[in-house]
Structure 1
Amino acid sequence: MFKKLLASVGIGAAKVDTILHTEHLLPGQTFQAEIVITGGNVDQDLSGLDLALMTRAKTETDDGERFVSHVIQQWRLSDQITLKAEEVIRLPFTGKLHNETPVTELPVTNNQCEVWLATGLNIDMALDASDRDPLYIYPNDAMKSCMAAMENAGYFMAKADVEKGHLKGGNFSSHSGIYQEIEFRPRSVSLFGVKEVELSFIPEAGQTHVLIELDRSFRGDSYASLTIPHTPEGLNHVPYQLEQLLR
């Protein structure tokens, strides 16, 4: 299986490499990795080792909008390691991506979505942008069905980003502290029609929730939500559901 050197971090005399079997993943997917710790010229005590799943999220400040690094989830790999000079320690690791991991692989030019894994002694090191290497996160079948339905309904994907905050629909809510917005615009604009549609996905085991924000001319924003079961019937019903909501 193809393996990629995902992150290489120097910690004092020691070096820590994270090797992932594949960097192409879906939200909520299980992955395997190997953490390779190589000692330097002297013995060294490491106080702990963490692996963090990161994204870049837009947030509002007094000075306007800016992007900040956000920890989606974090795993403690080891509490304390005594590393002898030139010793090599290999730590096998199996993790599961958060269900709300943003999708990065989207057919849109203005794509501001990034996801990466970072390895470090503490969360401050994990936030260091120089230590990051990207993950490639793909939409699940429910998301792809929504995107295809929007395209068939006369909309094109214009922008995608990640924002700080939480979402809440009729029967679901987000938990990661961030949410992704995928913006669609109509190919032809009518005077009183929809100007913009933003989709946000909250995947779960067996289903994906969708929060839909519609911006209509002279009518402002409105919200709707739907839940798509991960079944052939559920996926096939998506075009009809979206068509009703976009009227």
Structure 2
Amino acid sequence: MGLFKKILLTVGVGGAEVNTEILQSTVRIGEDIEGVVNILGGSAEQNIDRVEVELKTEYIKEVDDVKQKHRATLVKLVVGRDIAISPNERKQIPFTFRVPEHTPISMNRKTVWVETELEIPLAIDPEDRDYIEIRPSNTMEVVLDAVLNVLGFRLREVECKAGYIGRSEGGFLQEFEFVPQSAFRGVLDELEITFLPSSEGVNLFMQIDRRARGFKSFMQEAAGLDEKHIILTISDYDASQGSRYVAEILENTINNYC
């Protein structure tokens, strides 16, 4: 091999390529993602030190009133080491991993992807990115249905922000911001919910923002005292009773703070 060709391989030209196939385009939190890493050898033999598959997302962190996008790794899996691949040779590496509970749900847009990287000495590491739709767990789905379709709230915004609550993981939180349309209209300005993992089902970190009524309420709103923060557990058993049952739990809880 001439010097020029060696240099081209060093910077990644003519080197190995990677393409990952995800066997399902949609997966629920707590379920498994299955896939296959396809590697195609380049124009010369190469040694791949490591093949990594990662589940990633992004979140917003505000620094000096400026919103910045940051990436978070939810799962990191090494699926191969010390692999020699000949010119034009094809290799396949299957993998499976579970979607963790703190993975953001895909609402309105996909923000979670599977990223594959080949670590090759003295070369630009080939990468592949595949976006995937993350659906809520069954219990989370019942809660969302109760809020949207039984209590009649409207989903105004979903955003992943930097932060922690209790033992939350990843360095970020996904906030769901709801506006009352029927129940609690005129009583609440908004309701924010963040899902937190629980061995019983799911914990809801709820911010209940009451609407100002009268001078006292106006002063409380001005001082930020109109917001109540609570944690409510919705068990898998509660969810199994249906959306109306869960909506009644939510309605009674919110009424206690209005």
Q: TM-score, normalised by structure 1?
A: 0.80
What is the identity percentage for the equivalent residue pairs of Structure 1 and Structure 2?
A: 25
Distance 1:50 1:205, change over 3 A: farther
Residues 228 and 234, structure 1, Cα contact 8 Å, conserved in 2: no
User: What amino acid maps onto 1:86 in structure 2?
Assistant: N
* 2:141 equivalent among 135, 139, 144: 144
**Is there any run of 5+ residues in structure 2 with no aligned partner, and where?**
1-10, 120-124, 212-220
Q: What residue in structure 2 maps to residue 167 of structure 1?
A: 165
Between the aligned partners of 1:59 and 1:29, the Cα distance in structure 2 is 28
Between the aligned partners of 1:213 and 1:112, the Cα distance in structure 2 is 24
Between the aligned partners of 2:137 and 2:244, the Cα distance in structure 1 is 14
2:193 is the counterpart of 1:199: yes
* 1:225 equivalent among 224, 231, 234: 231
Q: What residue in structure 2 maps to residue 4 of structure 1?
A: none
Q: What residue in structure 2 maps to residue 119 of structure 1?
A: 116
Between the aligned partners of 1:132 and 1:35, the Cα distance in structure 2 is 11
**Is there any run of 5+ residues in structure 1 with no aligned partner, and where?**
1-9, 123-127
Distance 1:62 1:79, change over 3 A: farther
CA shift digits 1:25-60 (9 cap, x unpaired)? 011211221111110110011221111111120111
Residues 192 and 207, structure 2, Cα contact 8 Å, conserved in 1: yes
Between the aligned partners of 2:101 and 2:12, the Cα distance in structure 1 is 31
Residues 29 and 96, structure 1, Cα contact 8 Å, conserved in 2: yes
Between the aligned partners of 1:166 and 1:11, the Cα distance in structure 2 is 40
Residues 47 and 84, structure 2, Cα contact 8 Å, conserved in 1: yes
Q: TM-score, normalised by structure 2?
A: 0.77
Q: Which has the larger radius of gyration?
A: 2
RMSD: 2.5
The secondary structure found in structure 2 opposite 1:243 is: helix
Q: After TM superposition, where is structure 1 displaced by more than 4 Å over at least 4 residues in a row? A: none
Distance 1:186 1:56, change over 3 A: same
The secondary structure found in structure 1 opposite 2:165 is: coil
User: What amino acid maps onto 1:150 in structure 2?
Assistant: V
Q: How many residues align?
A: 221
